[in-house]
Amino acid sequence: MRMSGILEIGVRSLLAYQYALDITGQNIANDQTQYYSRRVVEFQDDGMNSGVSIGDVRRIFDSVADDQLKNSITDLSKSTQYADQLSSLEIEFGGDLSSKTDIGKYLNDALDSIRNLNGNASSMQNRATFLNALMNLSSKFNSLSSSLQKQGSDTNRSLLDQIQKTNQDISQLADLNQKLLHASDSEKNDLLDKQEKIKEDLAQYINFKTSTDQNGLLNLTLDNGASLLFGTKANSIALQNSQTQTNQMSIILTDGTFNLDVTSQISSGSISGLLEYSQKDIPNATQLLNRLSVVISSALNEQNKLGLDLNGKLGSNIFSDINSPSLMAQRFSSGLNNTGSANLSVQISDATQLSGSNYQLVVDAPGHYNLVRGSDQKIVSSGNLGALPQTISADGVSIQLSSGTLNVGDQYTISPTAGAAQGMKLNIQDASQLALALPVLADSSTQNQGKGVISVDGISNIQGSIFQGNQQLTPPLKIHFTSDTQYEILNATDSSVIASGLTYDPSQPNSIFPTPQGFDPGIRISLSGAIHAGDEFNISYNTNPSNDNRNGQFLEKLFGTPLIDQKNNTFLGEFRSILSGISSKTGDTKANMEADKIVFSNARDRRSNVSGVIVAEETMNLAKYQQAYQASAQLLQTAKNIFETIISLARS
Amino acid sequence: MRISTNTQFWAQLDLIEEKNARIATLQYQAATGNKLKLYSDDAALGSRIQSLSDNMTEYQGFESNTSVLSAQLSLVQNSANKLLSSALKIMDDINSAKNDTKNNQDRLALATELQGVLSSLLNESNLRDVNGGYLYSGTLQNTSPFQLKQGSYQYQGTSTTIQVSISQDTQQAATFSGWNVFGNIGTGNGQFQIQFDPTHNTGNAYASGITTTSSQPVSDTYTLNFVTNAQGQLAYTVTGAQSGQVVPPASQPVPQNAPAFTSDQAIQFNGLSFQLSGVPKVGDQFTVSPSQKDNVFNQLSNLVNLLKTPVNTDQDKANLQQNLNNALDYFKQFHDQSNGLVSQTGITINYLNSIAERNKQMVGADNLILVNEATVKPENVIPMVTQELQSLEILTRSFSKIQEILGQIIRF
């Protein structure tokens, strides 16, 4: 054997095992690094008398496991983000059981206070309590609406932050691709670890697919193939206002020149969670809240206007007018590409029919329109439009096209309830303006021989001429029975006949108005019981409203009457339904999150079990390589000894 | 199977995290007694809790109304009992005044007594609730129900009443129409009245109470005249303002065919029947007419005035008896009406009590369900917390042990 052979073998093996020890040390050092892929040293026999050297340092990974982990991170990130956001929404709406300040509470307070007030309608204290309850209710609508707006803006800010981080990650991956082009094998492993780390980070934000080109460079695409990263060319995503839908945001993919709307491609990751929350849940909750606000305002306003206040005046709106000119003008927005000049205003004609959704008014052909409901994309009205003015009605909404022109392609977004909860304010400040009395009294003459009972069932129209007098009916009316089953309606002032030959059925309640001939003063009167010829009933203005709670009873009944959602829900029922919907969705999302956690945990373990470090294993390697290293050193020592022996022999 | 150190580490961490979350939940339950923190923790249960809470609020919302109404009705029932006593007192005094042995002085004393009853009734009509509102004015609670205007008592309230909700679909009157309590009573027997004509009559006959013999007596104003018939007997004819000659039938000549009068014998025509006591004279007249609705105050005033009027002649006596009979008929109706009010208020109070009791039971039942479904007992939760804490401690020790072993391996 050549002397240099053992020396060379010793040196080479020493170097090889030193390197192996380095690699093992590197593995041990990264045993807690999630994205790190362990390295395995492969020794190679360098041939007779050449010893051993490092054949390869393999980076252990499983691309399927990596992909699964990436996808599970994306899904978990979305469900976690989404569940967090929905939990916030749920708490805003009072989903925390310890919360005692939700809209339901204020609705119950208002109902309690109107009930108490109806027990003593003249009590200013009771009136003030009811008014205060209504003020609290409107304030709650205002604050909840503001919170939703703030949540919307906070979510958009988070979206912008996460989009920025996404772009940074894509950009870093492009840089890594650049470095990979020129990296040595050992550098490549480190770069691939870094790439893995950034991929996992990016996976938190958006869903993407990966592929590797012939140069080993990473490419990223969205589900539809749109490129996020191609070799060293990084594209970026951005948030912008939707080109097709008002008040909606879009995610666009841009290379700096061309923009592509990829909103529908972002289906997972925290950005997707934020986007869904921002684009669906907040608008839905806001629309439902606005609709509830409109229906409450409309119902209480209309009923109060049919009554008489403590000052003897006809009632006014309790809350701000839902159809004020300024509100009507704010309920639409014109498409960006409109060429027509139509002037619109949007009136709520029947709040009980409101869907809560927005609508798209589209001129699809010359003189022809479609009105599409946003919630289900159903055409709710369609037809030809002649010269303006025209009115389009659907779902309790009247769109008044007053003047100007409509051209093909023109689009308008109609938002009938937009801003309602935010703008809900008390219109009356003085509790005496609560119109708890009815403006009409109906009474039987004290000389009646029969047992007829008359009652005012309500006021159907306060705008009629009979109510145009100053605190009097014009004219007051009298029902005079000409026989036990026939009656006439007289002007009580001059006894002139207004309607005659009217038939009365004593076996059932009889509605007096409108008469078969069509006389309708806007008052609903019923008469029942046995009546004698000559009996009379007077219908007059109520000049003493202080204790009259008849309209107060109607106001009270509004709280228990289904008036929302095609008259399917009461005020409280609707609120509970909104909260229940949010809670249910939050619960489902939390359950999804728990499932995603399990999937993530399995994917993480799978990858870790392939690529992760086992300290015991590495410790064994360490011992093994250490021994080999020491043996190699011993080889050198032996070589040295031999060499020294030879030298000493030569000297002697 | 290869299990990385990280996998071991994460598995331990996941378990510890899970335990911590569980302990946090149990601690919340122990501290608040609530099973859920957010409705979304169990959306179905959350929805049920909301529904039960709303139901309880709904039932409790009627408590105030039912208790206030019950108190008001107790006032009215008490008042109605007083009206009943007054009606009996009035009828006693009328019967006493009818006694032939009573002289003018006696009747004056009765008049004074009845004047007191009138004041008492007027006072009762002004019954007010705890808020000072009149209970017998219908919807006009700030108006005294009966006021003396132009010499007579007139009702100032309404026939409609103030209604208050006592359950979701039920309302109950919180006030009463004073007209239906103190008025709305027809003079005479309520359908017809018979009147003595003191300006014409020279005899001493007077009528007892009038009765109806048909369910639909012919409504008319009848004049009964005493004549001498063809047989020279004291006879009578009856003529209706609308009906014309009723007795004898229109086909027969009068006074020749007029039926002979016999004292205390029923005179019947067109569904009506009454008797005349005493001896009428030819030319005497009685009028039978439909009742007029009046209130007790006017009728009692008239009665007081009647009793104050001295009785000197047979005609005065007949007139007194006639009017006392009419008053007796009227106040019998007032008695019945008051009795009806006592009964009605009693029934309503019982009804309100049953509603209140039902509401209370419903609240109790809902509350029981709520307690069972929505709350947890600390004594049940605390052992679970202890158990979970012990479990956490074992986990933590196990985690430390594993880390220690790893350290040993590395040292080795």
For A319-329, the pLDDT digits (tens) are 999 999 888 88
> Quick check: A449 and B186 CB within 8 A?
yes
> Quick check: A86 and B40 CB within 8 A?
yes
Mind giving me the DSSP string for A343-412?
EEEEEES-GGG-----EEEEEEETTEEEEEETTTTEEEEEEE--SSPEEEEETTEEEEEEES---TT-EE
| Contacts by B238-241, CB closer than 8 A, 24 or more apart | B238/B267, B238/B269, B238/B288, B240/B270
Q: What is the pLDDT of residue B105?
A: 96
Of the candidate ranges A48-57, A572-581, B73-82, the one whose mean pLDDT is the lowest: A48-57
Mind giving me the DSSP string for A296-336?
HHHHHHHHHHTSB-TTSPBP--SB--TT-HHHHHHSEEE-T
Rounded Cα distance between A73 and A269, Å, is 8
Interface test with A, best of B38, B40, B160 (most A CBs within 10 A): B40
Q: Is pLDDT above 70 for A219?
A: yes
How many CB pairs lie under 8 A apart between chains A and B? 191
- The conformation of residue B177, written as its DSSP 8-state character, comes to B
Which among B43, B142, B186 is the nearest to A583, CB-wise? B43
> Quick check: A446 and B409 CB within 8 A?
no
Distance from CA of A613 to the nearest CA of B (A): 5
B contacts of A587 (beta carbons < 8 Å): 39-43, 46
> Quick check: B61 and A613 CB within 8 A?
no
End-to-end CA gap in chain A: 23
The per-residue pLDDT for range A470-506, each reduced to its tens digit, is 888 999 999 999 999 999 999 999 999 999 999 999 9
Q: Is pLDDT above 80 for A637?
A: yes
Of the candidate ranges A166-180, A273-287, A532-546, B396-410, the one whose mean pLDDT is the lowest: B396-410
Distance from CA of B106 to the nearest CA of A (A): 35
Distance from CA of B181 to the nearest CA of A (A): 12
Q: What is the pLDDT of residue A425?
A: 96
- Each residue's pLDDT expressed in tens, for chain B with a length of 412 residues: 788 888 888 888 888 999 999 999 999 998 888 999 999 999 889 888 888 888 888 888 888 888 889 999 999 999 999 999 999 999 999 999 999 899 999 999 999 999 999 999 999 999 999 888 999 999 888 899 999 999 999 999 988 898 988 887 888 999 999 999 999 999 988 889 999 888 888 989 998 878 888 888 898 999 999 999 999 999 999 999 999 999 999 999 999 999 999 999 999 999 999 999 989 999 999 999 999 899 999 999 999 999 999 999 888 999 999 999 999 999 999 999 999 999 999 999 999 999 888 888 988 998 889 888 889 988 888 889 899 999 989 888 888 888 788 777 767 6
A contacts of B64 (beta carbons < 8 Å): 115-116, 119
ipTM: 0.84
Which among B54, B69, B159 is the nearest to A572, CB-wise? B54
> Quick check: B291 and A605 CB within 8 A?
no
Mean pLDDT of A639-648: 87
B contacts of A609 (beta carbons < 8 Å): 1-4, 7
> Quick check: A609 and B57 CB within 8 A?
no
> Quick check: B168 and A601 CB within 8 A?
no
Q: Is pLDDT above 80 for A49?
A: no
The per-residue pLDDT for range A95-124, each reduced to its tens digit, is 988 777 899 999 999 999 999 899 888 889
Q: What is the pLDDT of residue A252?
A: 94
Distance from CA of B232 to the nearest CA of A (A): 41
Distance from CA of A491 to the nearest CA of B (A): 20
Q: Which residue of A has its CA nearest to B32?
A: A98
Q: Which residue of B has its CA nearest to A124?
A: B131
> Quick check: A31 and B5 CB within 8 A?
yes
Which among B7, B47, B174 is the nearest to A119, CB-wise? B174
Q: What is the pLDDT of residue B237?
A: 96
For B387, the enclosing helix (H) or strand (E) is helix B378-411
Q: What is the pLDDT of residue A3?
A: 57
The per-residue pLDDT for range A408-431, each reduced to its tens digit, is 999 999 999 999 999 999 999 999
Q: What is the pLDDT of residue A245?
A: 64
Q: Which residue of B has its CA nearest to A38?
A: B4
A contacts of B36 (beta carbons < 8 Å): 97
Mind giving me the DSSP string for A59-92?
EP--HHHHHHHHHHHHHHHHHHHHHHHHHHHHHH
Region of A225 on the Ramachandran plot (φ > 0 left; ψ -120 to 50 alpha; else beta): left
Higher pLDDT, B267 or A7: B267
> Helices A185-203 and A124-182: crossing angle, nearest 10°?
160
Rounded Cα distance between B173 and B162, Å, is 6
Confidence of residue A247 (pLDDT cuts 50, 70, 90): low
Asked whether the beta carbons of A104 and B58 are under 8 A apart, the reply is: no
B contacts of A544 (beta carbons < 8 Å): 139-140, 142-143
Q: What is the pLDDT of residue A2?
A: 57
Interface test with A, best of B59, B159, B221, B242 (most A CBs within 10 A): B159
Mean pLDDT of A285-309: 96
Helices (H), A101-241: 103-119, 124-182, 185-203
Single-letter residue type at A431: A
Percent pLDDT > 90 in chain A is: 74
Rounded Cα distance between A53 and A4, Å, is 17
Interface test with B, best of A117, A281, A447, A544 (most B CBs within 10 A): A544
Average pLDDT of chain A to the nearest whole number:
92
Q: What is the pLDDT of residue A326?
A: 86
B contacts of A610 (beta carbons < 8 Å): 2
Q: Is pLDDT above 90 for A33?
A: no
Q: Which residue of A has its CA nearest to B405?
A: A616
Q: How many helices (H) and strands (E) does chain B have?
A: 8, 15
Distance from CA of B61 to the nearest CA of A (A): 6
> Quick check: A613 and B43 CB within 8 A?
no
Percent pLDDT > 70 in chain A is: 98
> Quick check: B61 and A115 CB within 8 A?
yes
> Quick check: A576 and B7 CB within 8 A?
no
Which among B5, B51, B141 is the nearest to A615, CB-wise? B5
Q: What is the pLDDT of residue A142?
A: 97
A contacts of B61 (beta carbons < 8 Å): 108, 111-112, 115
Residue located via tokens 């923790």: B41
Q: Which residue of A has its CA nearest to B291?
A: A449
> Quick check: A32 and B162 CB within 8 A?
no
Return the percent helix, strand and coil in chain A, to nearest 5: 45, 20, 35
Distance from CA of A272 to the nearest CA of B (A): 21
Q: A608 CB contacts (<8 Å, ≥6 apart)?
A: A34, B4, B6, B7, B10
A contacts of B142 (beta carbons < 8 Å): 122, 544, 546-547
Of the candidate ranges A165-169, A201-205, A213-217, the one whose mean pLDDT is the lowest: A213-217
B207 beta partners: B276
Sheet holding A411-414, edge to edge: A332-334, A411-414, A359-365, A368-373, A378-384
> Quick check: B61 and A108 CB within 8 A?
yes
A contacts of B290 (beta carbons < 8 Å): 449
